[in-house]
A = this chain, B = another copy of it.
Amino acid sequence: MNDHTSIQKIRIVLVGLGTVNIGVLKILIEKKVIIAKNYNLEIHVMGVADSSGIAVKENGYTYEELIHLKSNGNKVNQLEGYLSGVSIEQITNHIKADVLIDGSPVNLKTGNPGLQAIRNALDKGWSVVSANKAPLVLAYDELHQLAKKHSGKLAYSATVCGGLPVINILQRDLQATNLIGFKGIFNATTNFILEALEKDGSFDDAVKEAQRLGAAETDPSLDIDGYDTANKLYIIMKSFTEFSGTISDIQIEGIRAITSEDIKQAAIQNKRIKLLAVAEKKADTWSLLVRPTKVEASSFIGNCDGWEMGIELQTDYYEELSMKIYEEDPITTSAAVVRDLINISKKSF
């Protein structure tokens, strides 16, 4: 807590103005004084992009005007500073900043607009905080090399289990430790659906309820078919092991075929069915899979309920380390973005 040094001004650009980045702005309002006092940081929003285009402003936007814009159902093209005809990815050419925050939608085909926006930011020597898994899944090595080349930082703790600091713990607390394996529940929507099935609900009703609560997408197949879980498994592997494979090295099976009857049968054996991500070290390679699995009802993983996500790590020195988070409110993911922003800012600019 450096009370005596002068305040650092961090200039940010927001790509995406959906739940994650609006949450970030709300936290920046609520914690403005704390962020200034405890970390000597002042965060200025120099530019913003959404599906309608980009807007930039030399003195920055207030957090409030961006939240106001969105809550009125408007888009970036209604903002002062809107630049017509400029693609989202090119926002980095129109303003000077220190950090780009990618809160744009997951696009697993091209990764864009997030991927290209991140590339452009790193190319300019900016740092990047990403809440978007797609660019990391499609170009993990490339983006890390770019960051290294231009001395930028790349943080993405929000991409795995929202606020649960899995990536941070692996990289900063388990140094010099060998990972033996882990298993986890990385997708709260499927966990909620499985719990609804346990309560004798139908699969379709559970999906609809998750959608109504804002947790599941209109097309929930990313969650249900296991791809979201697999993406997180991949990001963990790349972040902490020498794993050099691709996402296609993960065997993936979702929960579409699970019935209430399967769950009743499991309950008779004191088991529950969970969609697990599992990594096991096998000599010099890894077995990686995403699969609905029967687990002991009384185990740590068996006790991850509904909106919880969790992971159980086996390592050489730390024996068994387990952690979980209950997050019904997506503000948790925004808080993870803010922690990354503070962490990379306080040491670098």
- Which range holds the interface residue count of chain A? 35 or more
Classify the interface of chain A: helix, strand, loop or mixed: mixed
**Please, which residues of chain B bring their CB within 8 A of the CB of A327?**
318-319
A69-77, A170-178, A207-215, A221-229 - the one binding chain B: A170-178
Are B323 and A319 interface neighbours, CB within 8 A?
no
**A165 on the interface (CB 8 Å rule)?**
yes
Q: Are B173 and A168 in contact (CB under 8 A)?
A: yes
The interface-forming segment of A10-18, A248-256, A329-337 is: A329-337
A79 within 8 Å of B (CB atoms): no
User: For the complex, is A342 an interface residue (Cβ under 8 Å from B)?
Assistant: yes
Binding site for B on A (CB under 8 A): 27, 31, 34-35, 38-39, 157, 163-165, 168-169, 172-177, 298, 300, 303, 317-329, 331-332, 334-335, 338-339, 342-343, 347
| A326 to B322 Cα, complex, angstroms | 9
A331 to B321, CA, bound (A): 14
Which of B39, B157, B300, B325 meets A303, CB within 8 Å? B300
Shortest beta-carbon distance, A169 to chain B, in Å? 6
- Chain B hits for A318, CB < 8 A: 163, 325, 327, 332, 335
Cross-chain contact B317 with A326 (CB below 8 angstroms) = no
The answer on a CB contact under 8 Å between A342 and B39 is: no
Name A326's closest neighbour in chain B (CB-CB).
B320
Q: Could you tell me if B317 and A27 are in contact, using CB atoms closer than 8 angstroms?
A: yes
Inter-subunit contact A342/B175 (CB<8 Å): yes
Structural contact, A317 and B303, CB atoms closer than 8 A: no
Enumerate the 7 nearest inter-chain pairs by beta-carbon distance, A residue then B residue, closest first.
A323-B323, A317-B335, A165-B173, A320-B326, A31-B176, A163-B318, A175-B342
Residues of B contacting A175 in the complex (Cβ-Cβ under 8 angstroms)? 38-39, 338-339, 342-343
